[in-house]
Amino acid sequence: MGVKGFVEGGIASIIAGCSTHPLDLIKVRMQLQGENNAPKPVHNLRPALAFQTASNVHVATIPQARVGPIAVGVRLVQQEGLAALFSGVSATVLRQTLYSTTRMGLYDVLKTKWTDPASGTMPLGRKIEAGLIAGAIGAAVGNPADVAMVRMQADGRLPPAERRNYKSVVDAILRMARQEGVTSLWRGSSLTVNRAMLVTASQLASYDQFKEMILERGVMRDGLGTHVTASFAAGFVAAVASNPVDVIKTRVMNMKVEPGSPAPYAGALDCALKTVRAEGPMALYKGFVPTISRQGPFTVVLFVTLEQVRKLLKDF
């Protein structure tokens, strides 16, 4: 227990994060689709109706056709090259090192503390509680890397003149702190924390619960088949629970704030309202296909690797 849980969780998370990074990048690009199609206020126009008193009217732009994950991936490679699929991978490594190592380790500590010694199990409610706590703390620790990762992944979709062109995650963090203030490193942190709580509680608690159910009912023995089945089910639960928060988080973190100009979004709620108003409620599930396509393999690789690492470090 203790440090060992952090090491095991960290190794598994970094391997899982790097192996599914291209899917995560495609998810981010899809979540930003249509963001610039929100109605924009036009000033000093005569009201169309006599009883209107507002000085601004909104002129809606024609929404762009939404593109699927395969088309997004193909276009990304064609326009930016094959290496673009790993844009921001250094930020992913740092994010997993900070965020996932913390959440996995804390969950393991709480799980050991709250498991009933007699039965060797922990109630589902306690698993969810442990996931919420571990996710919140892990997200707060890893938020700077999360902001850098989102920006590095989204940079290629901008016109060349508007790109940030971060050289690495370290360069991204240093430039954000210098140009936008240290607090910019925690931009969207409330969303990151909320998402991490949902993901950790649903992912880790679901995995343990599904694994226990499979073993108790004798469907399969404790081995690779059980680990893959339980982890894929956990990945689906986590994707459904977290996607709406993930969309808003991506947009808030990626927004450009020009000096002297108001921010595109005043906060998470403002972003959610503008997104739904401009693109419809289902916009909150943009990128769901790549989310589940990434969350499934990520969760499978995460827990299968974790189980193997535990076996290797069993005697340490």
Q: What is the pLDDT of residues 24-76, one digit of tens each?
A: 888 888 888 876 654 444 444 444 434 444 444 444 444 455 678 889 889 98
- Please give the pLDDT value at position 45: 42
Which of the four pLDDT bands, split at 50, 70 and 90, describes residue 133?
very high
Least confident of 21-25, 60-64, 105-109: 60-64
315 or 60: whose pLDDT is higher?
315
**Can you tell me the mean pLDDT for 221-243?**
93
The mean pLDDT of the chain is: 86
Q: Please give the pLDDT value at position 139.
A: 94
pLDDT mean over 290-306? 89
Return the pLDDT at 10. Answer: 94
> Higher confidence at residue 60 or residue 143?
143
pLDDT tens-place string over residues 168-183: 999 999 999 999 999 9
Number of Cβ within 10 Å of residue 136's Cβ equals: 19
Helices (H), the chain: 3-19, 21-31, 69-80, 89-95, 101-114, 124-154, 169-180, 189-216, 224-254, 268-279, 288-312
For residue 97, count CB atoms less than 10 angstroms from its CB and return exposed for 0-12, middle for 13-18, buried for 19 or more: middle
More confident residue, 174 or 264: 174
- Highest-confidence segment of 1-5, 7-11, 117-121, 289-293: 7-11
Tokens of 34: 């249509």
Query: What tokens were used for 153?
Result: 């992944």
Tell me what the mean pLDDT of segment 219-237 comes to.
Answer: 94
Q: Which residues contact 19 (CB under 8 A, 6 or more apart)?
A: 297, 298, 301
Query: How far is 47 from 71, CA to CA, in rounded Å?
Result: 42
- Per-residue pLDDT, 67: 74
Q: Is the CA virtual torsion 8, 197, 273, 41 positive or negative? A: negative
